[in-house]
Amino acid sequence: MIIVLTSEKPISNEFNQINQLFNAGLEILHLRKPTFTIDGYRSLLDLIEVKYHNRIMTHQFPELTQEYKLRGIHLQEQARFDLEDALEATVQIYKSKGFSVTSSFHSKEEIDACKVNFEYVLLSPVFGSISKTGYEGKGFDVNDLNHTIIGMGGINETTLQKTYDLGFKGVGVLGGVWNTKDPVSSFSKIKEANDMVIKNTN
């Protein structure tokens, strides 16, 4: 599984590149724009082809899941903490409506301690971040955890094999796509390498 997270920064012609990523085989896009208002999210979603909306997880404004028939909501770490005792009930409400719910973690211990059943969780940083300077990787080995864990941080075509060897069930990519001259071409290279790793593993 490959997930691409949108860049926090404005990207020229971003909607077109997102459409091209989906056309190139992207399974899931995490829409994460911390500086956007809900109307900013809508403006971007309106330009993404409707047929791809069911592959998009939103990091903010969960009401957009129903408005645009998105794939589901992603609870970032702080959002998960803020829900406190209401976390499990909130997740169940969205699941009962047919939406996926995922979340972010930054330690194995937190994943193990969390009793909520997310479809998958993002764990970072596995390797030194491409998009954030000074964000050193922790080389998590998650072979001992019985969860669907997606590795993030420093993911590109050269780190894929090691990521799967560490027990991750997929990869999340940000800088490996958006911090390159040609995001769509970079994604295609990562996808091709990912397909090869999975084929060799099975």
pLDDT of residue 57: 98
Place of tokens 């997740």: 91
Q: E-assigned strands of the chain?
A: 2-5, 28-31, 56-58, 72-75, 100-105, 121-123, 149-152, 170-173
**CA angle, 50 then 44 then 186, to 5°:** 85
CB atoms closer than 10 angstroms to residue 6: 22
Is 167 in contact with 142 (CB distance < 8 Å)? yes
Phi, psi dihedrals of residue 23, rounded to the nearest 5°: -65, -30
pLDDT at 202 over 70: no
pLDDT in tens, 103-162: 999 999 999 999 899 999 999 999 986 666 666 788 899 999 999 999 999 898 889 999
Q: Kindly give the pairing relationship between strand 149-152 and strand 100-105.
A: unpaired
Q: Which of 194, 172, 181, 191 is nearest to 30 (CA)?
A: 172
Q: Which residue has the higher pLDDT, 156 or 65?
A: 65
Q: Which two tokens stand for residue 145?
A: 């955890």
The mean predicted confidence, pLDDT, of the chain is 92
How far is Cα 194 from Cα 93, in angstroms, rounded to an integer?
A: 34
pLDDT band at 200 (very low <50, low <70, confident <90, very high): confident
Domains in the chain: ranges and CATH: 2-201 (3.20.20.70)
Look at residue 83 and give its three-state secondary structure. helix
pTM score: 0.93
Percent of the chain's residues with pLDDT above 90: 78
What sections of 36-159 are H helices per DSSP?
Answer: 38-45, 64-68, 77-83, 87-96, 108-113
Q: Give mean pLDDT, residues 35-41.
A: 96
pLDDT of residue 131: 63
pLDDT at 194 over 80: yes
pLDDT of residue 151: 96
pLDDT in tens, 72-106: 999 988 888 888 888 999 999 999 999 999 999 99
Is 138 in contact with 92 (CB distance < 8 Å)? no
Place of tokens 């909520």: 116
